[in-house]
Structure 1
Amino acid sequence: MTEVAFVLGTESEAVRLAPVIRACERRGVDHAVIHTGEHGAETLERSVFDGFDVPSPDIALDVGSGPHGRQTGTMLAAIERALAETDPAVAVVHGDRNSALAGAVAASKMRPKVAHVEAGLRSFDRSAPAETNRVIADHVADYLFATTEKARWYLVREGVTELRITVTGSTAVDALERVRDRSRPEREVLDEFGLRAGGFLLVDVRRRGNADDPGRFRAVLDGAARAGSAHGLEVVRPVRPRARERSGEVVPDGPAPVRTVEPRRYAAFVRLLSASAAVVTDSSCVQEEACILGTPCVTVQNATERSETTEVGANRLGARDPDGVCRSVTEALESDGEWENPYGTVGAAERVLGALPVDAERGEIVR
């Protein structure tokens, strides 16, 4: 009988749950990994699982992409079957993707307790599907693991019982620490792409509405190119194979070229993020990672669920027009770069597992 089932389907989920999976292995807690296929299994295998020494998923559902309703509905049915097969005491989900929503809802209707890692994030933008996903996952969860006190406060304000909430910090801190200790040195990654530490501006724009809108995408890249030219920085756009297939290549009519590189592993992307002078992004995870790594960030979104990053001065919510992006990048580069990481210290994964009712001697969840 499986004690813990991890339901995941995207790179960000795999990266942030990998430390918890490894904590289960260290403690001898029997577990299973259910991969929904929200992002391709081959992509995660190459980019994440290998790098974190996490075994391949035990169950691959191969749901694939599609409209939200169809994808989520297909996941629900498939996850139900997987949970019936593994019979876990606890089903663990992470974040706000459709895999987290489907995993939380499926488990809540069955025997397992639901644990939501990264609970309590709020952008208050209800037009964003991710906001709906994270709110629902929080309110069906039995164990809620918040990254910060602010996230805990949001949950309490929404009526979640305080006994169900544990502030653990972010498992991203654990993941980034492992990248630092175990992956290729930064110098090797920079040499591979012909880059110099602090000599380039990273542009990682991937969300629908930005990456899939040619006009908006071009405007963001043009603003980044202007900022790069003004500050003597090369502008680098890391593109994963999946993103290249989705959005194609767009190069702005700017005063400086935007160079595309392909870091095929998550660890290589982290090295680029750490070594960049600043990053322009619309990714929630990159905002958090940049804050932890000490890289100034400009977010080309009107709202963010990572408001702690703006409060400590690590992140700026920037306009998506060229002038606004250029101005925000300049402000980020001119900041002192000194802020306190709001996402806690190494050990979040152990704190997550420690908050579950694990029988230490038997390595079992108390049911």
Structure 2
Amino acid sequence: MKKPKVIDLFCGAGGLALGLEKAGFKIAASVEFDSKACKTYRRNIGDHLIEADIHKLSVAEVLKFAKMEPGECSLLAGGPPCQGFSVQRRGDDVDPRNDLVLEYLRFVEGIMPQFFLMENVSGLMSKRGTPFLDKILNRVAELGYKTYLTKVEAADFGVPQMRKRVILIGERMTGAGQFFELPEAPIKDGKYRTVKQAIGDLASPPADGSLHPTIPNHAREAKLSAMNVERIQHVPQGGGREHIPEHLQLPCHRNNPGHRHMDVYGRLAWDKPSGTITARFDSFTRGKFAHPIEHRSITLREGARLQTFPDTFIFEGSREEVAKQIGNAVPPLLAEVLGTSVFAALCRKEKKSPVARQQDVRMCELESSVS
């Protein structure tokens, strides 16, 4: 079988594309709005990129760029920006970012791929996200797609990070049976890949804040204050702000055990996966992002390792811009697992060999072990 072709929406720095390429796919076209992420993508993945606001982009333009007609695309993939569905977000349920999942749906309607894959935060299945999810499910069913919906824990698939995500995969049915099966997680006993396994071999970054001479994107946080260095010194592995002496705590944290952000000013533990690598993992004040034994925030390269990016993948931009690219990415290893399952389905479809056990969207949702 020739390499099946992918159109990748909201591609960011290229985490999803990198994993799909390893699974055997060829990226025919990608779409991204963020200019720094585009620069990173072009450096590491390729020039098959449309840098544009997806709201202003027509399906016809993307298909022309990819040299395809409707129905020819093997896989439409993408992770629409999802901060509006985050369970950590406060405020009104109306968020302009939420309609990006409907832009994704617009491209499913126009491209009519054999399969589509959408990754999003678990909040997509919450009160805020359910109206959008239901709209997608109902519409793609009208278009003739069978859907597979599940929540996954990235650590169950070998990512050294606790990262809950919703995965929605659609298969365009032809009457020949079901060819796709959701992948089973290889790690079922909680023996996750640890922070030490992921970053323990990395040399300490230069003390002066400069880049490491041989390890890309590996430098200390330049703005780490003396006060924060002192705070870090009091935090044990796996600990957080509750371990910082009261006189060093922020006023809003003092005598406030109910404060919603308990993991801020925290430190990673060698023997466990990290927590979710967010778009602001560049500062330990934003979560458990201090190095397990050194009194500093983790470097961009260490965050990239926890997201399963290889060291050969070099990010472009400032520390804050790169942290956003890394934190918003689909872990390439998880993308590869999902891509491998779709690739296998395409192979079965070519051989006209449907799977014996039928899977259903609601069954997958109910069977999920991720809360």
Higher helix share: 1
| Higher RCO, 1 vs 2 (CA within 8 Å, ≥6 residues apart) | 2
Greater C-alpha Rg: 2
What is the TM-score normalised by the length of structure 2? 0.40
What is the TM-score normalised by the length of structure 1? 0.41
